[in-house]
A = this chain, B = another copy of it.
Amino acid sequence: MKKKVALTGDRPSGKLHLGHYIGSLVNRLRLQETYDQYVMIADLQALTDNFEHPEKIRENVFEVAKDYLAVGIDPQKSTLLIQSQIPELAELTFFYLNLVTVARLERNPTVKAEIKQKGYTDTLPAGFFCYPISQAADITAFKAEVVPVGEDQIPMIEQTNEIVGKFNRIYHTDCLVEAEALLSHTPRLVGIDGKNKASKSLGNTIFLSDDAQEIKRKVFMMYTDPNHVKVSDPGQVEGNVVFEYLDAFHANKEEVEDLKERYRKGGLGDTTIKGLLNTTLQALLEPIRARRQALCEDEVREILWQGTQRARLVAQKTLSEVRTAIGIDYFLGRF
């Protein structure tokens, strides 16, 4: 039986961190076993709000690819691709622009929230405003049937499916395929500051590529319970970053529950739980870092090249169907 197609990916605006690991990478390792999975490095999407700093995106395309390979995304099972190297995606975006009203874009809750968060006023770039249409191009180009997303990304899938429905109806075709949101129930990983979600821009994350010393340093900086001054004081577990990370990364849930119990009562020091978390994270990240360091530039480049070419063939086929449906294949067979 033909495997279902899944599309996932990241904006390469920084190296990947533990938030990505727990939020999406682990899931992709599972998905690649049963799905025909495309993993896209969305550099064009990253440029929509970083267009003045293209070097930041450029630098991170290969870093993100290394992170993928280091955690175990297998180029034999997943197709790794770079968005900007598939011009067909821009062309599909161009065609889909006609099918979405400005009013509809203005109503997109995901974009609305992001516009607010980024503080865009009359500075909002048209490229950022229109990026749900570009995402629809990405999803439909590969005929993705499932797209793993967080709750907040569901409106993007809805927008995609509206375009699919409208395109197929207007142009009397079935060449575009609806996508289904594969909801991830992983809660967002909190940053080491305990205030916000882990995010590279806030500098509160542990990167997959951090060295042993850096990991330890960050673990020992973690926000715990400010009222837990002496070891003997009762401590609070809720909002305590160390326990949130132990919940997320420690294999033995019972042991963690036991520690929480002891921490609450008093008698368990921050140094002890931080030591345990450090050991846990070192054990997780050491082999990832080793695999990462063993990768050579040319190998990564070759994998990205091969994956992108494979993906491009699929996008070209979809684009060709789209062009035929619209009726602009004037030179068919020649072009």
In the complex, are the beta carbons of B130 and A330 less than 8 A apart? Answer: no
Tell me what chain A mostly uses at the interface: helix, strand, loop, or mixed.
helix
Let me know if A183 is at the binding interface, CB within 8 A. no
The oligomer's copy count stands at 2
Let me know if A202 is at the binding interface, CB within 8 A. no
Q: How far is the CB of A142 from chain B (nearest CB, A)?
A: 18
Which of chain B's residues has its CB closest to A83's CB? B328
A98: contacting residue among B126, B133, B301, B308, CB under 8 A: B126
Let me know if A197 is at the binding interface, CB within 8 A. no
In the complex, are the beta carbons of B125 and A51 less than 8 A apart? Answer: no
Q: How far is the CB of A32 from chain B (nearest CB, A)?
A: 23
In the complex, are the beta carbons of B331 and A305 less than 8 A apart? Answer: yes
Q: Give the size range of A's interface with the partner.
A: 35 or more
Interfacial chain B residues near A123, Cβ < 8 Å = 101, 103
**Highest count of chain B CB atoms <10 Å: which of A55, A98, A101, A133:** A98
Can you offer 26 A-B residue contacts whose CB atoms are under 8 A?
Answer: A47-B98, A47-B326, A48-B98, A51-B98, A51-B170, A54-B171, A54-B326, A54-B327, A55-B327, A57-B327, A57-B328, A84-B328, A85-B328, A85-B335, A90-B91, A90-B93, A93-B94, A97-B125, A98-B125, A98-B126, A100-B126, A101-B124, A101-B125, A101-B126, A102-B126, A103-B123
